[in-house]
Amino acid sequence: MEFCDECGSMMQTQGDKWVCTKCDFEKLRDSAKEAAMVTTQSQEASEVIESQGGTEGLPTTDANCPNCENDTAYWYMQQIRSADESETRFFVCTECEHKWREDDH
């Protein structure tokens, strides 16, 4: 990946040149420098971490399910807005597996 010297945008290859998609700045490609670049295509998938999903291992709390009135739910926190916003707490009913957010009413 190459970034424009003029505006900082990501550049694309066109033949023997790098061309900025924003300001049209051009510079010649350097094959030695490009050989040292790491791309997602050249990375090996030697370590794959799979999500277990589901509710296994989640903590439980007292919370009334709006779907079935059960009083116990699994809960977890997730960042769904920008980084300067607080996380949102999600609940999953232990009986019917209905999912809701803390701020849902």
Domains and CATH numbers, the chain: 1-38 (no CATH), 60-101 (2.20.25.10)
Query: Any known ligand binding at 47?
Result: no
Note the pLDDT tens digit of each residue in 59-88.
999 999 999 989 999 998 888 777 788 888
Query: Any known ligand binding at 37?
Result: no
Query: Any known ligand binding at 4?
Result: yes
pTM value surpassing 0.75: no
Give the pLDDT band (50/70/90) at residue 42: very low
Query: Any known ligand binding at 86?
Result: no
Query: Rounded CA gap, 60 and 68, in Å?
Result: 17
Query: Any known ligand binding at 68?
Result: yes
Note the pLDDT tens digit of each residue in 86-103.
888 899 999 999 999 886
Query: Any known ligand binding at 96?
Result: yes
91 touches 102 (CB < 8 A): yes
